[in-house]
Every structure is written in C-alpha cells, then in structure tokens.
C-alpha cells in the first residue's frame, strides 16, 4: 500500500503517482530556465504514435513581457488563480505532418493522446523536482492561436500552470474548499478482464 497524507493507493505504486496533485495556490517563487527545461526534457521522452512527437511547448514566465498575453487567453476563473504561477505553458500539438513526396499533409491521428502522455510526464517530473503543476483546459483556443501565432495544422491542447505551492489563505476564498488532493474511482470500476463489464 502506498500512502500520502490524503491519498492511499490500493496497490503498490511509486509515491509520485499519488503525491502529484493540482493546487491553485501558488507562492511567489520564480522558476529558472534550468528548472523549467528539466520539465520539458521529461515531456520530450514521452511515447507517441509512430514516434511522431507532435507536442510543442510555448511558455511564459511570470513578470515576462509575454505573461499578460498568456493569462488573457485563460477563462476568467482560471486566470484568477493562475496569475500567481511561476510559469504558464501552452501545450500545442501538430495535427498533421507534411511528408516528403506527398502532396497533402498526413493527419496525425493520435496527437491529442500523445499530448496527454507529454503533459503527465511533465507533471510527474515537476512533482519529483519540487514543483506543482495544474492543467487547464479552460482557455480560449482560438485566442491562443492568435496570441501565440499558432499556425495551421497545429492545435492548442492544454495550458499548464507551474509553481511552488502557496498558502491556503492567500488563495481566493471561492477556491479554498477544493484546495486538497482529490480521490479516484476504485480499480474495480476501471479494470475488467476479458470483456467490457462495467455498470
């Protein structure tokens, strides 16, 4: 059994899987290039369909010239808490690839799935490196396309807030009740042998 203060795994897993969670309170820390690129490095080694590596990471650090532009694409609620993060990353995927000798770009059918693999690698490395991450699907993908000059055949998938966990009472009151690790469905509801047998 693997246990953290709030979560218990029903089978033995490396502690990082249950210790990673997504806070909304962030402290004032700044993140160095070296610390940030360690997270991208972990994501780089994620598996992808045909090793296509469709992920691209566009980042802004807090207090940089591009920070406000990144914040502005987030939904209002997400912007409230994410504004204190040390960095924001927009994970973009290539949706098609132009192969030599082919007239049309070929679609990359697994690009969104591959993005998930890259995101979780980044999140787990962050946890191992003493950082917290929070994935954000609530942002305006078209606004991100304009703001970050994302071209055709690429698609914004996920915003990721990265920072050190901050103090609960410095988080806007509306988010405070949810500021703790949440739980998961039991394995019995998720795993079946031989055939689909879920209720």
Chain positions contacting ligand FMN, by CB under 6 A: 21-22, 78, 134-138, 158, 181-182
DSSP annotation of 71 = H
Q: Which is nearer to ligand FMN, 97 or 112 (CB)?
A: 112
Q: How far is the CB of 171 from ligand FMN (least distance, A)?
A: 12
Q: How far is the CB of 151 from ligand FMN (least distance, A)?
A: 23
Q: Which is nearer to ligand FMN, 49 or 181 (CB)?
A: 181
Q: How far is the CB of 178 from ligand FMN (least distance, A)?
A: 8
Q: Which is nearer to ligand FMN, 78 or 121 (CB)?
A: 78
Q: What is the CA radius of gyration of the chain?
A: 18
E-assigned strands of the chain? Answer: 2-3, 8-9, 55-61, 87-94, 96-97, 106-107, 132-136, 154-163
Q: How far is the CB of 21 from ligand FMN (least distance, A)?
A: 3
Q: How far is the CB of 56 from ligand FMN (least distance, A)?
A: 17
Q: Which is nearer to ligand FMN, 89 or 136 (CB)?
A: 136
CA torsion 27-35-90-127 (nearest 10°) is -70
Instruction: Residue 24: count other Cβ atoms within 10 Å of its Cβ.
Output: 25
Region of 63 (left: φ > 0; alpha: ψ -120 to 50; beta: rest) is: left
Q: Which is nearer to ligand FMN, 94 or 159 (CB)?
A: 159
d(CA 189, CA 59): 37
Q: Which tokens belong to 139?
A: 């942002």
């Amino acid at each position: 059994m693997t246990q953290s203060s709030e979560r218990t795994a029903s089978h033995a897993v490396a502690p990082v899987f249950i210790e990673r969670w997504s806070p909304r309170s962030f402290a004032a820390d700044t993140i160095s290039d070296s610390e940030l690129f360690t997270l991208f490095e972990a994501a780089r080694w994620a598996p992808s369909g045909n090793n296509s590596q469709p992920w691209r990471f566009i980042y802004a650090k807090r207090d940089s010239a591009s920070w406000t532009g990144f914040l502005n694409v987030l939904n209002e609620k997400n912007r409230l808490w994410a504004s204190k993060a040390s960095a924001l990353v927009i994970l973009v995927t290539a949706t098609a690839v132009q192969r030599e000798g082919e007239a049309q770009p070929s679609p990359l059918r697994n690009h969104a799935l591959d993005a998930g693999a890259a995101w979780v690698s980044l999140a787990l490395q962050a946890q191992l490196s003493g950082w917290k991450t929070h994935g954000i699907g609530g942002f305006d993908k078209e606004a991100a396309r304009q703001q970050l000059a994302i071209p055709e055949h690429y698609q914004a998938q996920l915003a990721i807030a990265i920072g050190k966990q901050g103090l609960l009472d410095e988080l806007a009151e509306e988010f405070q009740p949810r500021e703790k690790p949440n739980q998961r469905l039991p394995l019995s509801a998720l795993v079946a042998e031989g055939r689909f047998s879920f209720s």
